[in-house]
Amino acid sequence: MTSIDPKAPGKGAATDLSADGSAAFSVTESERQVGDLQKQELDEKFMREALKLAEAGRFSARPNPVVGCVLVQFDPAAGYSPKGTIVGRGSHLKAGGPHAEVHALAAAGSRARGSTAYVTLEPCAHFGRTPPCCDALIRAGVKRVVIASHDPNPQVSGEGVRRLEAAGVEVTSGVLAADADALNTGFLRTISGGLPLVTLKVAMSLDGRVAMQSGESQWITGEAARSDVQTLRASAGAIITGSGTVLADDPRLSVRAVEGLSAEQIAELPPALIVVVDRRGTSFTPDLNLLKGRSKLWWVVAPDHLAKVQLAVDEAGCTGQVTVMPDLGLCELLVALAKRADVRDVLVEAGSGLSSSFLSEGLVDQLVIYQAPMLLGASARPCFNAEISSLSEAICLGSPKVEQVGADLKISYTLSTS
């Protein structure tokens, strides 16, 4: 029997009369909503902690996604704060190494039992190079799992959630999903059959020039800007450049220094695959800086030059290091990088011709321009040389994010490639 007593604590509260006639007040709808709101706020608070942990694998986890996990206890009877006490933290740092959940469970030990796990990506449910994380959470006695992103990997794709729920674990999904997805854009796209995330980096003068007419370009931007580029390189699974850049600058395209990483940590980072687009078939020589200290490169050449370049590679004794492949177009190159090399994120560091091709074909997701406070004049080489004859054909970039890096400006655009 249920009645409403307007004088009862909490006006409008439903009152259940027990067998002895005493009243037991149940939770009102408004109180329930307040409880749900507090729960949501706590879920978002601890998911933000997990997102911070995920960023620890930004440079080292590829080709795997970055993932963070925190284990939280809420039981005041066990001495924990009802607003939550973190008992374990974990990040996925290296492909083949323990996942974030495993690190967090190890840190928590017996305190993991009865806890809530906050994970930025759906726990895996398959045996890869490591066992399934959902099984580890179940064995540890975790009672609730809060997930940010769904994992579209066909080997997971909801199976982690199903396994957890089948074991009686409460699962909440979609908490700060957009923030988590942004950490793994390239992974989420390629694992679903799409192209890698492409970042085009350009260093130019105030009047939009990238080199003098002679080809001289070192250095247009300052040391701070060149140091900032190291972060872009460290984040990339592949770096694409052109034969003109190779001939003019003989670059290494290596990661020399990244803020927050020691020299030892940089040496242990998974190396980016270097890809040279050599449509003229003229730039390969065995003494290039690109070949030093690297185990593999892709040399992409026009089909007419394939035999000539392959012969040069063979004669130089670089057959095991350099893969010569036909140029079937930039889109097909990106497809090959995703399918054959598990590349999730690509950095393009090239001259105006190749850079313009990527832009014109709508293959650039992020454009990063380092603009130096200098003028190089009309005879210097332009930043882009796309053939545009009317305003209707203009490549529109949208609103930029602008930062000052030393004496230079860093101007970043997010482009729509849909």
Catalytic residues: 101
User: What does residue 172 show for φ and ψ, rounded to 5 degrees?
Assistant: -120, 130
Q: Is 308 helix (H, G, I), strand (E, B) or coil?
A: helix
> Which amino acid is it at 373?
P
| Closest C-alpha to 146, from 241, 35, 71, 203 | 71
Structure tokens at 400: 């930029």
> Which amino acid is it at 219?
W
Fill in the DSSP letter of residue 374: -
* Distance in angstroms (rounded) separating the CA atoms of residues 273 and 95: 16
Q: Contact at 8 Å (CB) between 221 and 203?
A: yes
User: What does residue 237 show for φ and ψ, rounded to 5 degrees?
Assistant: -85, -20
String of b and e for 27-38 (b: at least 16 CB within 10 Å)? eeeeeeeeeeee
Structure tokens at 404: 């000052």
| Closest C-alpha to 165, from 140, 139, 134 | 134
* Distance in angstroms (rounded) separating the CA atoms of residues 407 and 228: 13
Degrees, nearest 5: CA angle 333-336-340: 150
